Amino acid sequence: MENVLTPTNTKNRSRIESRLIWPALLLLLLLSIAFVAIPVFLIQPFRPQTQRALEISYLLRAWSPLATVIILLSVLALTFWKWKRARRWWRKALLVIVLLLSIVPAWFARQNHFEWMFNPLHNSSYVKAADAGFVRDSDMVLAVKINNEAVAYPVRLMAYHHVVSDTVGGTPICATY
């Protein structure tokens, strides 16, 4: 028997392909969201992280800009393909919603949400250790020594900002925890 596409076989194939589009769109949307959501949930300030969780987060953060664009283009192609075959207005509305929702992770993958949460300390000022009466002996500090110049940043004062830009021993640094 020959493998011939008859009108009936073509119609059945088209129906099967059409039914697979919606799960594919949903799966692509969830995958795109996962690329940006997993690092957000794994790296949380004030919560301990494991080395494996950090590795996964950094890997996903590195690949998410490219992956989310590829996923967005795939969603766009499937949306155009399905748009021609969608007869009801609510199906076209769902296609638009899925497409718009796919744009969000592609945009978010290019953001650093920690910068939104913790604004850097812009107007920091420094004093010598002998003049730092506001630092207690029990305070935890971040200490840096470069080229025989040593500095210490009290964690209590950095608690909100988490980031201090400075130059130590002629080298620009960004102290954070």
- Of the two residues 71 and 9, the one the predictor is more confident about is 71
Amino acid symbol at 15: R
DSSP letter at 88 equals S
Asked which of 45-49, 65-69, 97-101, 105-109 is least confident by mean pLDDT, the reply is 45-49
> CA 171, CA 148: separation in Å to the nearest integer?
12
> What is the per-residue pLDDT for 131?
79
> What is the per-residue pLDDT for 156?
83
Q: What is the mean pLDDT of residues 23-41?
A: 95
Q: What is the mean pLDDT of residues 63-70?
A: 97
> What is the per-residue pLDDT for 135?
82
> What is the per-residue pLDDT for 177?
75
- Of the two residues 25 and 8, the one the predictor is more confident about is 25
- pTM of model > 0.85: no
For 166, the token pair is 């400075």
Listed residue (157, 17, 33) closest to 105, CA to CA? 33
pLDDT digits (tens, 9 = 90+) for 103-159: 999 999 999 877 777 666 667 677 777 778 888 888 888 889 999 998 888 888 877
Mean residue pLDDT of the chain comes to 85
Domain boundaries, the chain: 7-113, 129-176
- The runs of H, that is alpha helices, within the chain are 7-42, 51-85, 89-108, 113-117, 155-158
> What is the per-residue pLDDT for 1?
53
> What is the per-residue pLDDT for 114?
73
Q: Which residues contact 71 (CB under 8 A, 6 or more apart)?
A: 28, 31, 32, 35, 102, 105, 106
Q: Which residues contact 49 (CB under 8 A, 6 or more apart)?
A: 42, 43, 57
Percent of the chain with pLDDT over 70: 84
> What is the per-residue pLDDT for 136?
83
> What is the per-residue pLDDT for 83?
87
